[in-house]
Amino acid sequence: MSRSIDIQLRVNGEAVKATVPSRLNLVDFLRGDLSLTGSHVGCEHGVCGACTIIVDGNTVRGCLMLAAQANGTEITTIEGLADSGQSAALQAAFTNRNALQCGFCTPGMLASALGYIDAGGAADRDAIRKHISGNYCRCTGYQSIVDAICDVIEESRT
């Protein structure tokens, strides 16, 4: 039988208290309990990157972390990135470059790309491809995604 655990954390700047089953995945908690459905669930075992979120400043697979492990953390989901404007330039670049089709990968891709940009990553196509290699896109072929990320980096450094 699964135990329940009390957790307190901050999600997109707001304090959250909850009692969660010990085996509940963080992404399922965000989607199911907090209705933050921007984080997607694909493979559920850390491969596709659709569930990528930011935990204490690091990009994390939401399907590989338990909600109970998020106790005391600061989490930002794609909703928080969009509402704060942090992802605005990247979202615009994705639109300009047609870097999404179905959009299933896009929230995780944006979170991963922001991690690269915020860490001072260069507009280097090989390095960008390596960084987003844990985020699968079944539609675009990645070329336009890399174009969009390069655009944001080049514009921010001119």
Interface residues toward ligand FES, by CB under 6 A: 41-44, 46-51, 61, 63, 100-105, 137-140
Q: Which of 26, 74, 34 has the alpha carbon at shortest distance from 52?
A: 26
Question: What's phi and psi for 67, nearest 5 deg?
Answer: -55, -40
| Number of other residues whose CB lies within 10 A of the CB of residue 150 | 17
Between 19 and 95, whose beta carbon lies closer to ligand FES? 95
Between 130 and 138, whose beta carbon lies closer to ligand FES? 138
Q: Smallest distance from the beta carbon of 18 to ligand FES, in angstroms?
A: 20
Q: Smallest distance from the beta carbon of 1 to ligand FES, in angstroms?
A: 26
Distance CA 40, CA 69 (A): 19
Q: Which of 60, 36, 148 has the alpha carbon at shortest distance from 108?
A: 60
Between 11 and 137, whose beta carbon lies closer to ligand FES? 137
At position 146, the amino acid (one-letter code) is V
Between 94 and 116, whose beta carbon lies closer to ligand FES? 94
Q: Smallest distance from the beta carbon of 90 to ligand FES, in angstroms?
A: 14
Between 82 and 139, whose beta carbon lies closer to ligand FES? 139
Q: Smallest distance from the beta carbon of 63 to ligand FES, in angstroms?
A: 3
148 in Cβ contact with 128 (< 8 Å): no
Q: Smallest distance from the beta carbon of 48 to ligand FES, in angstroms?
A: 3
Helix axis angle for 106-118 and 88-96, nearest 10°, is 120
